[in-house]
Structure 1
């Protein structure tokens, strides 16, 4: 299966248009049509309905595989390129909004002092975008957060040749408006809130589908959908009564206008994990050592 044809297929279905896909990819519309026809001939199945543009059942099934396949190809290319690009004084860190805590901030300050001059860039992204940045070599280190049982890893996708390390585990809390009947409680049970008004903020707060999986319920339905990485915006919406959300307690208590109540049941934590390639740049390795308290690995060996 030709990856160039597969990229064209994904673009056509993402844009729901042959002409828009051609514009995005820098092809002519006839070239896009030829790519789709060649891919259909290769797989022996019609993949795209033309009018209107939509996936056939076979196309929908291929779309379940295509993004992951293309991401792994990009990751392989980045892994090879990394062998020839040590970038000893450069570090790009991508993190989800609630993942960069005091421990990482202190480690960055230590690294800045030890590495002169350090060209440091920090990017705030959604969780999936953080993973993609690390896999494709556009970020040296990623930090992602989520909810899990104590000491359990986060449910990340197949990351290929990467290293994933636990950074922190802390109390998970629910953000409530200060006028909420539960705002004065010492703790809450998530199962008592399955039918509450929730803010669906999958790139900022704990995703609602994750809460459904952890509590084994079909509740936690969104009252409002928030797209983006603005933590303060989610807090303002919660404070105004638009819904509630789940975040780490230390961060939630620092947000204005809301009450943060720890989650008592089920027994969950807010967990942050660090991701870097199996063969990281020196600055990425040093940051990982500082954040996790590991002894530095020898330069010619991968971290365990």
Structure 2
């Protein structure tokens, strides 16, 4: 069993089609079929059930896939570790982030880092709060920017980079639009535009509203911060968003108001796995992030 056989097997297993796998691998279909046949012959079991041009894994094939995907990760990490020890300035950093940090926070940090280390590469993955934590635990990501920083997750550790203020975003024709700030309780009769259940920003908004005695009526939901801002812009409700997501410009026909009571904010931090060390390039960026936001004095006073 060699590395090529494992690669071909995983590609066919995920696509359930030999031709599609061959196209993705940029090799002839006959080459993929031959490697799969050799692998099955070596193992002495059928890994796939053939159904015309399609294939699907046998029960033992499914178990074999799990082990082979883990093996590929180990091999790739070992190769990266060797390459980075030879030259940490040319390594690759895999980092996850939520949509609320995608437009400004992460690009600003990466841009500043690459001025110092121009040959370092990044693999970026956007995800949900709990998905980002899980990807770091599983080793799919080296680290993740996250907000708020988790307090009770023992499999990751991290550092707070800055405190982020949460503000109200209202349609410009809203009765409170002319004010400079508002009390959250003044929005108790409004319809809200929020992330779906399970998203951490929704939990924060709901908890803040409950703190002042009401449960927000959610009229629309969006899985992306820009979609939520767009719905408010269309006059379909109000929302609370991290102030940093409005740093470049306000959506048309909206106003931003500070929340005077209660103050709503969240920690923004970076998490890394607790059970394994960072590779040299990863450590370089991790230490840079902590110093970078310290020099900025946090974003809390940056507006």
| TM-score with structure 1 setting the length | 0.60
Shift of 1:223: 0.9
1:98 to 95, 100, 104: 100
Q: Does the alignment pair 1:187 with 2:185?
A: no
Shift of 1:177: 0.8
Question: SS state of the match for residue 267, structure 1?
Answer: coil
In the alignment, what sits opposite 1:223? 219
Q: Does the alignment pair 1:120 with 2:122?
A: yes
Shift of 1:197: 0.4
Answer whether contact 2:167 2:256 (CA < 8 A) is retained. Answer: yes
Q: Does the alignment pair 1:132 with 2:134?
A: yes
2:289 to 255, 278, 291: 291
Q: Deviations over 1:273-293 (max 9, x none)?
A: 211123222233222222221
From the two aligned structures, give the one with the greater helix fraction. Answer: 2
In the alignment, what sits opposite 1:144? 146
Q: Deviations over 1:80-103 (max 9, x none)?
A: 996885363001111001124655
Question: SS state of the match for residue 287, structure 2?
Answer: helix
Q: Deviations over 1:165-200 (max 9, x none)?
A: 112213211111111111221111222223420112
Aligned positions of 1:139-178 closer than 5 A: 139-146=141-148, 154=149, 156=150, 158-178=152-172
Inter-CA distance 161–282: structure 2 relative to 1 (3 Å threshold): farther
| TM-score with structure 2 setting the length | 0.60
CA distance in 2, matches of 1:202, 1:143: 21
Question: SS state of the match for residue 264, structure 1?
Answer: strand
Answer whether contact 2:191 2:217 (CA < 8 A) is retained. Answer: yes
CA distance in 2, matches of 1:206, 1:239: 22
Inter-CA distance 246–141: structure 2 relative to 1 (3 Å threshold): same
Q: Deviations over 1:7-56 (max 9, x none)?
A: xxxxxxxxxxxxxxxxxx9456xx9xxxxxxxxxxxxxxxxxxxxxxxxx
CA distance in 1, matches of 2:151, 2:269: 13
Q: Does the alignment pair 1:199 with 2:193?
A: yes
Shift of 1:267: 2.0
What is the number of equivalent residue pairs in this alignment?
218
Aligned positions of 1:1-304 closer than 5 A: 26=57, 86=81, 88=84, 89-100=91-102, 102=104, 104-115=106-117, 117-146=119-148, 154=149, 156=150, 158-202=152-196, 207-214=201-208, 215-216=210-211, 217=213, 219-226=215-222, 228=223, 230-252=224-246, 254-257=249-252, 258-278=254-274, 279-293=277-291
Structure 1 unmatched runs, 5+: 1-24, 32-73, 147-153, 295-304
Shift of 1:268: 2.1
Structure with max Cα Rg = 2
CA distance in 1, matches of 2:177, 2:57: 54
Question: SS state of the match for residue 293, structure 1?
Answer: helix
Inter-CA distance 207–108: structure 2 relative to 1 (3 Å threshold): closer
CA distance in 2, matches of 1:142, 1:203: 22
Inter-CA distance 170–116: structure 2 relative to 1 (3 Å threshold): closer
Inter-CA distance 284–245: structure 2 relative to 1 (3 Å threshold): farther
CA distance in 1, matches of 2:102, 2:288: 14
CA distance in 2, matches of 1:233, 1:204: 17
